[in-house]
A and B are shown apart, each in its own frame.
Chain A
Amino acid sequence: MKIMQKWIMAFILAALSITCLPHLINAEEQALDLQAIINEARTGSTIILPHGIYEGPILIEKTIHLKPRSGEEVAILNTSNQPAILIMADDVALTGLIIKDEQLKKQPTVLIQGDGVLLDQLHIHTGSFGIQMRKANHGQIQNTSIAWAGHVPERPVKLSDKGNGIDLYESNDNTFIGNTITSMHDGIYMENSDNNLIEENHFELLRYGVHCMYTKGTVIRNNVGNLNITGAMIMAARDVEVSNNTFTKQSENVNSQGILLFDAHGTSIVNNHVEGNRVGLYVEQSTMNHIKGNTMTANFIGIQLLDAENNAINSNQFIGNVASAEARNSVHNQLEGNYWDSFQGIDLDGDGRSEISYAINPFFQSLIKAKPGFQLFFQSPGMVFLEGLYQSQRQLWSVDASPLMEPSDQVRFIVPTQTLKHSAAVGAGLLSLAIYLIYLGVKRR
């Protein structure tokens, strides 16, 4: 009886797998013409590609899942001026492919025009845009790497030659998780695209890591940016969340900053760590933003406020910056309970907050707005002295009413520390040489 049951079960399972499960095509016998394989595939099927180099461009007009056979390497090589892969259908999935598309051109390497597309573990080498999404919603791009691979003949590559890593236009509700984007123009560029989630990505050597233009409801969380011109560029955007990101060493360019808000309203900038940038957090012409719990360490300027009004700036820590804060023409901001290491407060009632307020002197910013040539005086001894003298219209300054006396938790520094041994060795050498010279000088013949 038991044997009979087993046979029946096996028969049912076999029948189910033939009728219900997506159709599996073994592409091994086919030529390396991937387009032909896709054309022959049924909608909803999964195509498993064996090891090999397949020719682009590829057009996908039906829902399929494309992936390499387990453990094998599948590369798609495109030398045409068309996108290496153009996805026009919904719910297409691409997994584990290597895409080499090193031509300099206008068309992107992957162009997505369908909804619900999944790109997972792709490796894209591009001479154009990495991935473009046009009116593509509810998609997901994860664990994918995008790097610039284009060569411009007879001159070095300029930033303007490059396309964006991921470029969205009118594409909403997409998710980008765990991607690594390097040496492109912008990492993820969003225009007129709302409610996209950007999480745990890595951005390096780009112009802007994340760039929002005319977006609503973008969430930028747990990302890492290093050596870009700007980590997160939030422009003309509303209700953006930027939280728990780390942006370091964005200091090479005269326009570098960790996080930039321009014409941004109602965004929340929370618990980010911004270290070693030209300006940690740059806020211009932005209102109603919540800036809370961020750590700005070792930047040239911790926070810079220009024409920024009605923002709430609380519980941030400014440590080891050359200038903690600069501000110009920024009124009605609510600054409270931040820690400024350059400020010595007095705590009379023992609540951990200073009774003396910390006011941000607007002199330098106003000066260089009128005459940029004087920017050379940034934090020079004479300029610090002059700022101390300048006290006019104090009621219009940005003021932290109750700055913290101590940093709220252990300050962490991310930029790698090396040993102090070497400078100690040089110091010891200097010291012994100096003492020997003094000895020679004072000894009697």
Chain B
Amino acid sequence: MIQTVHIAIREIKLGFRNPWAYSFMGLFALFMLCLLMINAQGYVQGYSGITGTTLNLILYLLPLMSLLLGSFSLTAEKEDGSWELLSVYPLSTLSFIIGKYIGLAIVLLVIVSIGFGAAGILGYVAGSGFGLSTYVQLLTFSSTVALFFLAIAILLGTIAKNRWQSLTIAVAIWFFAIIGWPPLLIATLGFMPYPMIKPAVTLLTFLNPAELSRLFTVVKLGGGAILGPEYYEWIKWIRQPGGSFGFAAVVLVWIGSVIAAAQLVWERRRLRG
């Protein structure tokens, strides 16, 4: 436990001395402010043009940031030899991985907070921004997306041998999860018999954290009706307070299993030397 805390604190210190973290922070803050500027509506509440755009732009930026920061942090341990030093101490792989995850999660959440904090304050000054519930909903969305993709990044950093490999795989994962997802599903599921499509899409959505978080947020913002009659029961369920707990449970299970997988792989490599 105390080892996990030490690793996390070390990770936070490394994270905030990493110029990458600041360039991502600047990028995220800048683009949150740009969103405010293109928004002519003044006060924004619920699912509308500007919230839809915000969701999509966050989906373009945050997963890639999380994937790169997270996977680089782990491959750096291997490349710089610091892991070899750490592994001579009685430090369990699980403590190491969880410590890494918590430390990086705090760095990412700080980046998100800076962006949203700036947008909240400047939005008030400029008289154009999000109403409280929409603001909190988008903040939750960003944090969840960051945490989801950080878990994937941890697994990726475990598997990849060096920074270059993790960069290549990170970009591939980002492309398929964010941009290639609808074309991929439309192309592959198009061959399936009609009644199979909806259950297949539903099931696959649970595998793509970007899509899962986006849909949860769209429904919570009141836009569920646009997803069509096919998903009516899901929408009704998610809209209740129970839907939020269900989503939180899915997030925990999802991140937990990816971290567990990362721990297994790392442990195997450690034993093999």
Contact = CB atoms under 8 A, between A and B. Distances in A.
Contact of B47 (A322, A383, A428): A322
Contacts of A432: 117
A428 B117 contact: yes
A386 B70 CA distance: 29
Nearest to A275: B48
A298 B197 contact: no
A434 B48 contact: no
Nearest to A411: B40
Contacts of A422: 131-132, 135
Contacts of B125: 424
A423 B52 contact: no
Contact of B120 (A377, A383, A423, A437): A423
Interface in A311-326: 319-323
Interface in A409-445: 411, 413, 415, 417-418, 420-435, 437-438, 440-442
Given A379-B56, A437-B12, A374 B41 contact: no
Contacts of B60: 381
Nearest to A424: B124
A81 interface: no
Contact of A375 (B59, B110, B230): B230
Contacts of B157: none
A435 B113 CA distance: 9
Nearest to B215: A376
A71 interface: no
B56 A341 contact: no
Interface string A364-393: 000110011111111111111110000000
Contacts of B194: 371
Q: Which of B110, B128, B189 has the most CB of A within 10 A?
A: B110
Nearest to A417: B43
Contact of B56 (A255, A372, A384): A384
Given A417-B43, A421-B124, A423-B132, A382 B178 contact: yes
Contacts of B211: 376, 380
A276 interface: yes
A342 interface: yes
Given A374-B197, A411-B40, A441 B13 contact: yes
Given A427-B119, A430-B120, A431-B121, A373 B198 contact: yes
B117 A298 contact: no
A242 interface: no
A348 B120 CA distance: 38
A377 B183 CA distance: 10
Interface in B132-154: 132, 135-136, 139
Contact of A320 (B48, B119, B131): B48
Given A301-B226, A421-B124, A442 B17 contact: yes
Contacts, number: 208
A434 B228 contact: no
A434 B182 CA distance: 35
B185 A251 contact: no
Contacts of B222: 251-252
Contacts of B228: 254, 368, 372, 375-376, 378
A438 B225 contact: no
B186 interface: yes
A376 B231 contact: yes
A371 B192 CA distance: 11
B209 interface: no
A253 interface: yes
A421 B129 CA distance: 10
Nearest to A385: B179
Contacts of A383: 182
A174 to B, nearest CB: 33
Contact of A256 (B135, B205, B225): B225
A273 interface: no
Contact of A437 (B17, B56, B110): B110
A300 B129 contact: no
Nearest to A320: B49
A384 B60 CA distance: 12
A413 B124 contact: no
A423 B135 contact: yes
A125 interface: no
A434 B225 contact: no
Contact of A438 (B16, B43, B180): B16
B106 interface: yes
A319 B15 CA distance: 41
B59 A420 contact: no
- Report, nearest first, the 5 A-B pairs whose CB atoms are least far apart: A427-B120, A431-B117, A441-B16, A424-B124, A375-B228
8 contacts: A374-B186, A374-B197, A375-B230, A377-B182, A423-B131, A423-B136, A430-B117, A431-B121
Interface of A: 251-256, 276, 278, 297-301, 319-323, 341-342, 367-368, 371-386, 411, 413, 415, 417-418, 420-435, 437-438, 440-442
